[in-house]
Amino acid sequence: MSYQVLARKWRPRNFEQVIGQRHVIRALENALKMGRLHHAYLFTGTRGVGKTTIARILAKCFNCEQGAGPAPCGECAACRQVDAGNFIDLIEVDAASRTGVDDMRELLDNVQYASSAGRFKIYLIDEVHMLSVNSFNALLKTLEEPPEHVKFFFATTHPRKIPVTILSRCLQFNLTRLPHSLIHEHLAALLDAENICHDEGALGEIAVAAEGSVRDALSLLDQAIAYGDGELKSSEVEAMLGLAARQQVADIGRCIAARDTGKLFELVELAYRKAVDFEALLKDIIALLHQVALRQALPGAAISPQLKEQDVDELAAAIAPEDLQLCYQIALNGKRDMAFAPDDKAAFEMTMLRMMHFTPLQAGAAAPAGGAPPQRAPAPAQNKAAAQTQTPATAQIPAQEAPARQAPPQTQRTSATQTPAQQTPAPQTQRAPAAQTPAQHAPAPQAQQMPAADGAADDDNAGNNSGDNAAPQGGFQLADCGDAQGWVRLIEAAGFEGPLREICFNSLLTPQSRTEATLAVDARIEGLCTPPRKEEIRQALSRLIGAEAVLRFETAASDETPAQARKRHELERRRKAALSIEKNPQVHSLKERFNAQTIPDSTQPVEPEG
């Protein structure tokens, strides 16, 4: 006995057997009952939802020898021939292969001749949107004045590609994707009838993978039965559908939620041995986090078919929404930075570690888990830059910035695009008031004079769980932070993240006293500076100075902020590094001998001071 594919064997023979699409079938049945037979029907919907199946049943309804109606007999010659696909008056055309106007003319030339066997001559044109413009025009003429004995059934996945002139002459029926549950039920009934062993998990997987298409579901089922040697087991269906990877993603998600580093690294090793693409894996994790977040916000939200509902729900309950947001952000950054990591596995591991050990910044307080403060994670470059500001060379920056703060706007604009020559502070220091000279920036003795504040700050920090390993802080005074170096130290100690960090790095602090200061915020970033953020900054600074800080915010149009100073400084270092490469005798001889070239902008300074 030859094996007949399930989709063909189980093709519905009447409206009752059609899975889903009740809205379409009810409308058709009602029209047929009342004898209202239109001359052109259009069935739209994605692949495998029953467009041509319904059209063929409709053909039987029109031509059944027992009389036209909603329930064809299935026994007469016409019904049987339609089922067998050899009814002479049902002309099926695949427009995808016959798009030309000649094809259409040939077809339509015969329209005028009466039907030979049935009551009606029916043209079933599948993928009708594929017809050429000329073919549509030829078709339109017939549709405008169709002979009584001719009916057109069109099916398409892309109704928008059909000319309006054609659409307006058709009764249109939109078929929908089928819900998983309906497909699942159908498959179960069918396997029972076929006497094939199956477990529910396997059917569920197939129903989901079919994405609403019965035909796809049946094709997958055929494949799975062949794969499982006549049986249907979930493990094999999962292997067939490539769902093992999905399980792996969910398992990693669970490890992140439970902060189970040991288990997570076992999974990573396993993935490594299986030669998993870590970038793709990270992408899947990002997709998972997105789905979990959606599910948290909208408990009824549909789950992407690539994920198991159960996994997503479990994670939605296990991870706090704010943790989830942070994990998502970390994962996105991790994916972006993957290209810079020594290898994908290392990058993946670091990203996972960050997800497990960082918790989101609560209002006004950094809350590091596992000892690593969150502010360190996203901004290693910034920390490095901050460290650089402590090298002797950067002593120039305060000198330069102090006067800049006092200077008229245009001077700063030039200073932002400064050439190295301007690094020499001479002309600017002339404008610097005495109170702003670097001498004032020797903070050490003052800091030591503040033991009480020191203790207070620490207590406060412990209480807020704030930046507790930013050890060198304590005993801050706003008065010490009037230069870029001091301000950057204060920013780092406060552990600002996100917008707060952005605001601070684009501001200049001008202290008025130990606890009072003006913060001049770069105009371009002023929008970020909302009252709650201002208050957060003020509170964080209060903790650091161990007293209630008084902050006045104002807009600074163009003062060189720490961020700008750092950028300029970095450009200068690169320029110097590039220059030293050019001057290097060995490089010079390489160029001479091998016609080598240095690639502009590829030079990276390796020492803090280029």
Give whichever of 79 and 481 is closer to Zn ion, judged by the CB atom: 79
> Binding segment for Zn ion among 48-56, 75-83, 480-488, 538-546 (CB under 5 A)?
75-83
Of 231, 173, 132, nearest to 50 (Cα)?
173
* Least spacing, CB of residue 37 vs Zn ion, in Å: 16
d(CA 526, CA 431): 27
* Least spacing, CB of residue 18 vs Zn ion, in Å: 17
* Least spacing, CB of residue 60 vs Zn ion, in Å: 6
Give whichever of 32 and 307 is closer to Zn ion, judged by the CB atom: 32
Subset of 123-182 contacting Zn ion (CB under 5 A): none
Classify residue 2 as left (phi > 0), alpha (psi -120 to 50) or beta. Answer: beta
* Least spacing, CB of residue 10 vs Zn ion, in Å: 20
Classify residue 147 as left (phi > 0), alpha (psi -120 to 50) or beta. Answer: beta
Give whichever of 72 and 360 is closer to Zn ion, judged by the CB atom: 72
d(CA 397, CA 440): 14
> Binding segment for Zn ion among 76-84, 95-103, 228-236, 358-366 (CB under 5 A)?
76-84
* Least spacing, CB of residue 209 vs Zn ion, in Å: 37
* Least spacing, CB of residue 75 vs Zn ion, in Å: 6
> Binding segment for Zn ion among 70-78, 113-121, 172-180, 251-259 (CB under 5 A)?
70-78
Give whichever of 120 and 476 is closer to Zn ion, judged by the CB atom: 120
**Does 31 engage in binding with Zn ion (CB under 5 A)?**
no
Residues 6+ apart with CB under 8 A from 225: 196, 231, 232
* Least spacing, CB of residue 125 vs Zn ion, in Å: 23
Binding-site size, Zn ion (CB under 5 A): 5
**Does 70 engage in binding with Zn ion (CB under 5 A)?**
no
- Residue 518 pairs in a beta bridge with 510, 552
> Binding segment for Zn ion among 78-86, 221-229, 263-271, 538-546 (CB under 5 A)?
78-86
Of 552, 601, 550, 548, nearest to 577 (Cα)?
601
CA dist 515 → 476, 512, 575 (Å): 10, 8, 40
Strands (E) in 504-604, as ranges, are 507-511, 516-522, 550-556
Subset of 466-505 contacting Zn ion (CB under 5 A): none
* Least spacing, CB of residue 281 vs Zn ion, in Å: 56
Give whichever of 13 and 308 is closer to Zn ion, judged by the CB atom: 13
* Cα dihedral 250, 253, 255, 258 in deg (nearest 10): -120
* Least spacing, CB of residue 73 vs Zn ion, in Å: 3
> Binding segment for Zn ion among 67-75, 140-148, 215-223, 410-418 (CB under 5 A)?
67-75
Environment class of 36 (CB within 10 Å of its CB; exposed 0-12, middle 13-18, buried 19+): exposed
* Least spacing, CB of residue 118 vs Zn ion, in Å: 10
* Least spacing, CB of residue 33 vs Zn ion, in Å: 16
> Binding segment for Zn ion among 72-80, 220-228, 253-261, 437-445 (CB under 5 A)?
72-80
Binding track, positions 46-65, relative to Zn ion; x by CB under 5 A: ------------------x-
**Does 79 engage in binding with Zn ion (CB under 5 A)?**
yes
Give whichever of 85 and 433 is closer to Zn ion, judged by the CB atom: 85
* Least spacing, CB of residue 67 vs Zn ion, in Å: 9
Give whichever of 78 and 267 is closer to Zn ion, judged by the CB atom: 78
**Does 76 engage in binding with Zn ion (CB under 5 A)?**
yes
**Does 73 engage in binding with Zn ion (CB under 5 A)?**
yes
**Does 546 engage in binding with Zn ion (CB under 5 A)?**
no
> Binding segment for Zn ion among 69-77, 125-133, 405-413, 434-442 (CB under 5 A)?
69-77
Assess contact for 389 and 397: CB atoms under 8 A: yes
Give whichever of 13 and 566 is closer to Zn ion, judged by the CB atom: 13
Assess contact for 515 and 479: CB atoms under 8 A: no
Written as six digits, the tokens of 91 are: 């002309």
Give whichever of 64 and 214 is closer to Zn ion, judged by the CB atom: 64
- DSSP-assigned states of every residue in 118-172: SSSEEEEEETGGGS-HHHHHHHHHHHHS--TTEEEEEEES-GGGS-HHHHTTSEE
Q: Judged by CB under 5 A, which of 20, 70, 72, 204 binds Zn ion?
A: 72
Classify residue 281 as left (phi > 0), alpha (psi -120 to 50) or beta. Answer: alpha
SS (H, E, C) 419-441: CHHHHCCHHHHHHCCHHHCHHHH
d(CA 329, CA 147): 64
Rg (CA), the chain: 37
Helix%, strand%, coil% for the chain, nearest 5: 60, 10, 35
* Least spacing, CB of residue 193 vs Zn ion, in Å: 24
Q: How far is CA 16 from the centre of its chain?
A: 42
**Does 528 engage in binding with Zn ion (CB under 5 A)?**
no
Secondary structure element (H or E) that encloses residue 536, with its range: helix 531-545
Of 355, 333, 374, 371, nearest to 261 (Cα)?
355
Environment class of 429 (CB within 10 Å of its CB; exposed 0-12, middle 13-18, buried 19+): middle
Of 358, 304, 294, 365, nearest to 331 (Cα)?
358
Binding track, positions 409-448, relative to Zn ion; x by CB under 5 A: ----------------------------------------
Give the interface with Zn ion as residue ranges (CB under 5 A): 64, 72-73, 76, 79
